Amino acid sequence: RSGSTVKEVAEALGVSAPEVIKKLMELGELATLTQTLSDEAIEVLADALGKRVEVIGAAEDETAEPEVEDDSEQLEPRPPVVTVMGHVDHGKTSLLDAIRKTDVAAREAGGITQHIGAYQVTVDGHRVTFIDTPGHEAFTALRARGAQVTDIAVIVVAADDGVMPQTLEAIDHARAAGVPIIVAVNKIDRENADPQRVRAELAAKNLTPVEWGGDTEFVDVSAKTGQGLDQLLETIVTLAELSELRANPNAPASGTVIESRLDTGRGPVATLLVQRGTLRLGDPIVAGTQAGRVRAMTDYRGERLKEAGPGTPVEVLGFDGVPEAGDRFRVVESEREARRLAQERAQRLKQEALARQMRRRVSLEDVLA
């Protein structure tokens, strides 16, 4: 377990427990003798008491995902995960919708009735996963939380508008994530479309088109007429093959929460992207501070699944509460273990929040002093 109780900390610092509690109160925390303080909180507290501490042998974060290295012979090809980003109104949503409609299988299944935040299309027998969360805000939020889900970024630029501030932001995000970029020059059906200008503007930002001797693929498309979509999908598949994306399907599943919500009828609903292993019905699962068991699992078409391998987005029912987008999830031994880890995670987050709050008070006191 991480941290120490108020009583232990008081002993270690050589001050009385009431003194510690009083100080904590000044720092904005109503604490009890048996309350656990995180290492960070202890440092702030000691500082405020004019003592120096060195926290040694800091407790390991048991809730952190164990790091695993798969042997290369365990790895199998997996679908690429693609995010579409770009300036507002340049056609991200339209493009995602248009790509989705190219999926014959989905059309035959009676169309896509629900939005689960991700979908797949099949291109020449290769599956491609698209993250369909609204705008790149979602991607930013996921990234801010340290989640790395994307393999390829498609940056959409309207050919009649050119490079705009959020275009550059999107490029920065993709570069920070170390993700290769494909530029989709959209709205080429428009009369005033100038796809060459878009190329020139991006070449100036070090995204030089392959046809100009650079290494960034540009594809002219129209989400409206469907022109260029096949070429865009082929470009994605080619780039994915070059990247040799692989994962171990024969492991307990782990991955990232893409979207979540509370459904009035069905309870907590989460869209998960499986990134390693295979997720199965009945699996005990933990995501952030929420635990549960996979009670039902459907794909983006609403079809029930018994299992889902790496690169597959699924909608899952069976969490006790709503996990947050960006939370990592993983399958564990038992539901009991899942609950324990979820509780420990919640405790840890609370302690971290407390330490942050205390540090703010301390710095505020410095300012006022």
Interface ranges with ligand GDP (CB under 6 A): 86, 88-94, 186-187, 189-190, 222-224
Q: Is 313 annotated as a binding residue?
A: no
Q: How far is CA 35 from CA 6, 9, 234, 350, in A?
A: 6, 10, 58, 12
Q: Backbone phi, then psi, for 300, in 5-degree steps?
A: -70, -15
Q: Is 61 annotated as a binding residue?
A: no
Q: And the tokens for 34? A: 């048996």
Place of tokens 């604490």: 31
Place of tokens 């232990």: 8
Range in contact with Mg ion (rule: CB under 5 A) among 87-95, 207-215, 226-234, 295-303: 87-95
Q: Smallest distance from the beta carbon of 94 to Mg ion, in angstroms?
A: 8
Q: And the tokens for 123? A: 């291109």
What is the number of the residue whose Cβ is closest to Mg ion? Answer: 93
- Identify the DSSP state of 124: T
Nearer to ligand GDP, 5 or 93 (CB): 93
Nearer to ligand GDP, 15 or 157 (CB): 157
Helix 39-48, helix 335-368: angle, nearest 10:
20
Q: Is 265 annotated as a binding residue?
A: no
Q: Smallest distance from the beta carbon of 136 to Mg ion, in angstroms?
A: 9
If one asks whether residue 94 binds Mg ion (CB under 5 A), the answer comes out as: no
94 binds, among Mg ion, ligand GDP, none (CB under 5 to 8 A by kind): ligand GDP
CA-CA-CA-CA torsion sign (256, 262, 264, 266): positive
Q: For residue 325, which amino acid is it? A: A
Q: And the tokens for 37? A: 């303080």
Q: For residue 120, which amino acid is it? A: Q
Q: And the tokens for 272? A: 């998960």
Strand 4-5 and strand 181-186: the pairing is unpaired
If one asks whether residue 93 binds Mg ion (CB under 5 A), the answer comes out as: yes
Q: And the tokens for 199? A: 């190329």
Nearer to Mg ion, 170 or 237 (CB): 170
Q: Backbone phi, then psi, for 188, in 5-degree steps?
A: -70, -10
Q: Smallest distance from the beta carbon of 355 to Mg ion, in angstroms?
A: 38
C-alpha–C-alpha distance, residues 48 and 51, integer Å: 7
Q: Smallest distance from the beta carbon of 95 to Mg ion, in angstroms?
A: 9
Q: For residue 274, which amino acid is it? A: V
Q: Is 289 annotated as a binding residue?
A: no
Nearer to Mg ion, 300 or 329 (CB): 300
224 binds, among Mg ion, ligand GDP, none (CB under 5 to 8 A by kind): ligand GDP
Nearer to ligand GDP, 119 or 319 (CB): 119
Q: Is 63 annotated as a binding residue?
A: no
Closest CA to 219 of 241, 248, 249, 199: 199
Q: Smallest distance from the beta carbon of 96 to ligand GDP, in angstroms?
A: 8
Nearer to ligand GDP, 84 or 286 (CB): 84
Nearer to Mg ion, 85 or 286 (CB): 85
Range in contact with Mg ion (rule: CB under 5 A) among 22-30, 88-96, 144-152, 252-260: 88-96
Residues in the chain: 369
Q: Smallest distance from the beta carbon of 119 to ligand GDP, in angstroms?
A: 16
Q: Is 92 annotated as a binding residue?
A: yes
User: Where do contacts with Mg ion occur on this chain (CB under 5 A)?
Assistant: 92-93
Binding residues: 86-93, 132-136, 186-189
Binding residues for GTP: 86-93, 132-136, 186-189
